[in-house]
Amino acid sequence: MGWSVNVDVGGTFTDAFVHSDDRYATGKARTTPHDLSLGFDAAVADAFEKLGIPLEDGLQATDWVKYATTVGINALVQRIFPRIGLITTVGQEDTIHLGRSRSWADGLPISAQMDRTRAHRPPELVAKAMRIGVRERVDCFGNVVMPLQEQDVVDAIDYLIAQGAEAIAVCLSWSFMNPDHELMIREIAREHYPEIYLGRAPVLLSSEVAPKIDEYRRTTTTVLAAILASSTEEHILDLTDRLRKHGYRRPLLLARNTGGVASPSRTTALHLVGAGGAAGLAGAAALARQYHLDNVITADIGGTTLDVGLIVDGQPLGAEFNPVVDRWRIHLPVVGSHSIGAGGGSIAHVTELGELRVGPRSAGSVPGPVCYDNGGTEPTTTDADVVLGFVDPDYFLGGRMSLNKARAERAIRRRIAEPLGISVIQAALRIRRLVDGTMGEELYKETALKGHDPRTFTLFAFGGAGPVHAVSMAEYADVAQVMTFPYGSEFNAFGQSALSIEQTYEQSHTIVLFDPVRQAFLADPSRYNQITQRLLELARRDMAEEGFEGEPALRLELEMAYAGQHHAVRHKSAPLRLDDGTDIEQLASDFNATFAEHYGAGTVNPGGGIEVRLFKLTATYRFEAAARRDRTAHDARPAAPKGTRACHWTDAGPVETPVYDRPALAAGQVVTGPALLEDVDTVIAINPGWSYLVGEDYSGLLRRVP
């Protein structure tokens, strides 16, 4: 086995996890927003350097490069939109503007939703002048009622290009039932405006991006994919070229928020939003199985956000089928984790009412926290950690980067302490407590509000700031034990090693499995079989074009509901083919059981009619996650600190706290708090009343002292 290179681009740092059968190494570099490939090279080179391998030699011996990037979401956050043209069915030009009844509330905090005076609609994704309709009509059964005229399409494209369109989204009515007209529009665009004129301006089709019912979400998803496409596509192409120059000859695989990795040709820019968090959850699930832990809650604290995920009975807890990206609801089933604006770079400020707030604004990687000495002026969580003694300014990133504690103190004094009339230490303690309480509350809600007891969960704390705040978060969340990992700061990159090559294919189509009027099951399953066969052919074609041999693992999921119900339930073990009445009745019976699991046996109503509404086929080629590597050294003797440092745990004043070199600890050793464990990429804070047990594989288990 050659090397597997996994890279995750965060808001502040770019992380790499490189592994083969028997070795692994991590790498870290500052994210370079102006050219993300520079940070990519630096992080991968750092990892290979630890293995004693030059960058080009390592990449030439690499089997797979997996990559998660935030390049697309930055455009949405900063509202830097390219000029997008939208072609739709005539009469439907204002669908994206009108939205749905509550689209004004999508993405707003609950406080703003409750106070309508503070609520506002999101900005227009497509200007009215850039929305144009063409005469055509496909009915709800996929029949062509009005053929598409080529001249209409040419006129529409001419108009949009003249208006400066940098990308074109196409969303025609009922195109998910029959995509022929959308395909015609793309072919006409390519014929009349070849690349020499359009350049890299993409033409995206809703029948490929989101072939599902619900015209507003389908349109929004396609337009967002078009908005993100230009910057993302250019970056991915540039990175691919750079990898080729380094000698890497295999496909670049992109981590996706729907789960798995895929080549750029099978990935839209919208798939990349939140992909790092999805990878981290996959890695956590793999470790939960290795450690035989049933219930795990993950807390990934980076420079900008806290990403929270839940693993129940060894599996990630479902996917979000109606997610919101920034302020827009989309039609992609993303992996079930969510983010809040709380991290090491979260900015602390005092409101006009004299209240302290931390986040959601972040200092990012440029300029970063004030202590980075890179032009930042607003104090952050990391600045508070430095002032309080949790982070050694002379040993940040193992001493590769020095922090300016004095500047952090001045910023906290000027921005927080003086407006509140308190000391700098009190201000820093309040910043830390507020962000810990906010994150702990989020962890508690993620478990308790979903019907689980947080005391039965283990918290996996990772990300650069995760171990520094893990115990305090756990106390707020009522979680009894915490685990940390040797690659915790690069955990999302590690998690990519657990992601398999995965393609998903969806098709909206309503099939009445049981007719409530006739009280009879479906007589002819041919339409069901035609849909699944078409999805299967697409999966086999795409996998073959990607160069993968053999039959992929296949999984069919169906969205099903009782007749008249708005919300559907996802049935995860559906047959690829129905051959006779027995198969049909068995599928109906299995759905009844699935519905009962969700809502209780008393809610099952098979006599009211059963409908299949959406087909989703997943094709997978599996990778094995990087296995845990046990160490032979074992020492039950008390660990010896390398020194002490004054640290402020409470208002009672500084405590001379033992500081341990985490790599020097042996398996079986126990450290009792208060204590700090330093590594090159993070610090583990062991609060008073907690202990830390070093695991065989260099992991660590934090528990309350009895």
What does the pLDDT look like over 481-535, one tens digit per residue?
999 998 888 888 888 888 888 888 888 888 999 999 999 999 999 999 999 999 9
pLDDT of 73 reads 64
Percent of residues, the chain, with pLDDT higher than 90: 36
Q: Is pLDDT above 80 for 265?
A: no
Residue located via tokens 């665009």 = 189
pLDDT at residue 100 above 80?
A: no
Q: Of 434, 488, 435, 486, nearest to 306 (Cα)?
A: 435
In terms of C-beta density within 10 A (0-12 exposed, 13-18 middle, 19 or more buried), how is residue 516 classed? middle
Residue 387, pLDDT > 90, answer yes
Which runs of consecutive H residues, i.e. helices, occur in 651-695? none
- Of 476, 488, 489, 468, the closest CA to residue 447 belongs to 476
The residue that leads in pLDDT, 636 or 217, is: 217
Its pTM stands at: 0.79
Rounded CA-CA distance 91/100 in Å is 17
pLDDT digits (tens, 9 = 90+) for 165-221: 888 999 999 998 899 999 999 999 888 877 655 555 688 899 988 888 888 889 988
Residues of CATH 3.30.420.40 domain(s) within the chain?
3-74+234-272
CATH assignment, 504-621: 3.30.1490
User: Does pLDDT of 314 surpass 90?
Assistant: no
431 vs 190, residue with greater confidence:
431
How confident is the model at residue 145, as a pLDDT? 93
pLDDT higher at 80 or 207: 207
Positive or negative, the CA dihedral 526, 531, 535, 537 is positive
Contact 619, 503 (CB under 8 A): yes
pLDDT digits (tens, 9 = 90+) for 130-164: 999 999 999 988 899 999 999 999 999 989 988 88
At residue 601, does pLDDT exceed 60? yes
**Positions of CATH 3.30.420.260 in the chain:** 277-341+435-496
CA–CA separation, 683 vs 391, rounded Å?
A: 7
pLDDT at 336 over 90: no
Q: Kindly state the DSSP code that residue 396 receives in the 8-state scheme.
A: B
Name the segment(s) of the chain with CATH classification 3.40.50. Answer: 81-228
Query: What pLDDT, in 10s, does the model give residues 432-453?
Result: 999 999 899 989 888 887 788 8
Q: What CATH class is the domain 81-228?
A: alpha beta
Q: Tokens for 532, please give them.
A: 């699944």
Q: In the CATH scheme, what is the code of domain 3-74+234-272? A: 3.30.420.40
Residue 169's φ and ψ, nearest 5 degrees, are: -105, 140
Tokens of 521: 């099951």
Span 277-341+435-496: which CATH code? 3.30.420.260
Burial 379-413 (b: 16+ CB within 10 A, else e): bbbbbbbbbbbbbbbebbbeeeeebbbebbbbbbb
pLDDT reported for residue 54: 92
Average pLDDT over residues 624-637: 61
